[in-house]
């Protein structure tokens, strides 16, 4: 790849030209150099232009840029799973990772991606939706894999999304099956009649989830109503109304709810209205049960996709979005006990 190009240039230009290190991108700062220090031309024997390439076979063959939105337990696990899988698939030392964190700042995602593009990395991992959106805007040539992204059609503005992005983008989704979440609600609360769906109206992925889960719940015979709020200042009043009107609440993987889970719990628990949560973090704060994924396993699945792309075994433009390989029914034991809810034996307590 880049090393081979350097060799070809050296052979073309003849003796007396030595390879130069350097580069401005963040990717260059972590990738392996050619190991060619500047030296007089006579130090390089005639016909030995390949002498600097005596590194172990396959070492540093690929450079992968990782843009992670923020340091967070779930996103960290996805990144680690990705790296572990890629190292296992291609061999330790074959991949040089340029791993950077945007510190929860979308413009910084764009800066990181631009650095990867300038550095001509072989593949980009975009961990979380803003990172994926920055990568989409930054390049239409370098392969991009997203992970920890809920719904790609919504994230990338694709109307009629059919599961395959096309072009240079694919990846994995952290969305648990919404039909199974609806089935979980029915399993735990078969006698309930009304279900309130609480979500932040400024989060497009939240709107998508409540729209979809409502369809499944209504097919199961529930009466559903959506309760949207614009920000955390709005949540208390909306939640109070939802609790008064419904037997059970459902909240999707919503960042604003996640940041205010205790507030929701302080309204729902005293009224003895249980909450089914879209992910484990929200469930820990205010939910009784969730269908949980392993973000590490999600990263592993993404890493296996990357290995196929880098080796030419698969064409990213035809690779459909993949989902977590397995889901676990989990419950919030203290809250279930407080609400006197009996949980089936196939659920796992959060924290165990």
| Residues 229-255: tens digit of each pLDDT | 988 889 999 999 999 999 999 999 877
- What confidence score (pLDDT) does residue 59 get? 52
Q: Write phi, then psi, for 51 (nearest 5 degrees).
A: -55, -40
Question: What is the share, in percent, of the chain residues with pLDDT greater than 90?
Answer: 63
| Residues 57-74: tens digit of each pLDDT | 345 689 999 999 877 777
Tokens of residue 52, six digits: 């600097």
Burial of 66 (C-beta count, 10 Å sphere; 0-12/13-18/19+): buried
Query: Can you give the pTM of this predicted structure?
Result: 0.67
What is the chain's mean pLDDT, rounded?
84
* CA gap 164, 19 in Å, rounded: 41
CB 186 within 8 A of CB 220: yes
- pLDDT surpasses 80 at 138: yes
Residue 163: CB atoms within 10 Å = 11
- What confidence score (pLDDT) does residue 20 get? 33
* CA gap 144, 123 in Å, rounded: 6
- pLDDT surpasses 50 at 43: no
DSSP labels, 64-117: EEEEESS--HHHHHHHHHHHHHHHHHH-TTSEEEEEEE-TT-HHHHHHHHHHHH
For tokens 């700062």, the residue is 29
| Residues 79-125: tens digit of each pLDDT | 999 999 999 999 999 999 999 999 878 899 999 999 999 999 999 99
166 confidence band (pLDDT: 50, 70, 90): very high
């Amino acid at each position: 790849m880049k090393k081979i190009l350097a060799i070809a240039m050296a052979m073309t230009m003849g003796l007396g030209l030595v390879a130069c290190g350097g580069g401005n991108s963040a990717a260059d700062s972590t990738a392996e150099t050619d190991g060619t220090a500047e030296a007089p031309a006579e130090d390089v024997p005639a016909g030995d232009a390949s002498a600097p390439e005596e590194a172990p076979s396959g070492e540093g063959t690929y450079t992968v840029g990782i843009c992670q939105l923020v340091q967070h337990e779930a996103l960290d696990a996805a990144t680690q799973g990705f790296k572990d899988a890629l190292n296992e698939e291609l061999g330790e030392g074959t991949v040089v990772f340029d791993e950077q964190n945007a510190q929860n700042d979308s413009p910084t995602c764009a800066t990181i991606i631009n650095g990867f593009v300038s550095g001509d990395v072989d593949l980009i991992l975009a961990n979380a939706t803003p990172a994926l959106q920055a990568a989409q805007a930054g390049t239409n040539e370098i392969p991009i894999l997203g992970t920890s992204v809920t719904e790609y059609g919504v994230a990338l503005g694709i109307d009629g999304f059919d599961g395959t992005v096309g072009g240079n983008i694919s990846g994995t989704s952290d969305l648990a099956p919404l039909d199974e979440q609806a089935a979980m609600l029915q399993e735990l609360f078969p006698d309930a009649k009304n279900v309130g769906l609480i979500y932040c109206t400024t989060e497009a992925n939240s709107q998508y989830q409540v729209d979809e889960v409502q369809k499944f719940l209504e097919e199961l015979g529930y009466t559903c109503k959506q309760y949207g709020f614009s920000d955390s200042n709005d949540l208390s009043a909306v939640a109070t109304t939802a609790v008064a009107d419904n037997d059970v609440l459902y909240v999707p993987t919503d960042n604003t709810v996640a940041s205010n889970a205790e507030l929701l719990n302080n309204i729902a628990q005293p009224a003895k209205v249980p909450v089914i949560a879209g992910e484990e973090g929200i469930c820990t704060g205010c939910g009784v049960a969730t269908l949980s994924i392993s973000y590490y396993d999600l990263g592993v699945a993404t890493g296996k996709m990357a290995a196929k792309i880098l080796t030419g075994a698969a064409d990213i433009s035809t690779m459909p979005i993949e989902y977590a390989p397995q889901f676990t029914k989990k419950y919030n034991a203290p809250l279930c006990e407080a609400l006197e809810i009996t949980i089936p034996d196939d659920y796992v307590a959060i924290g165990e």
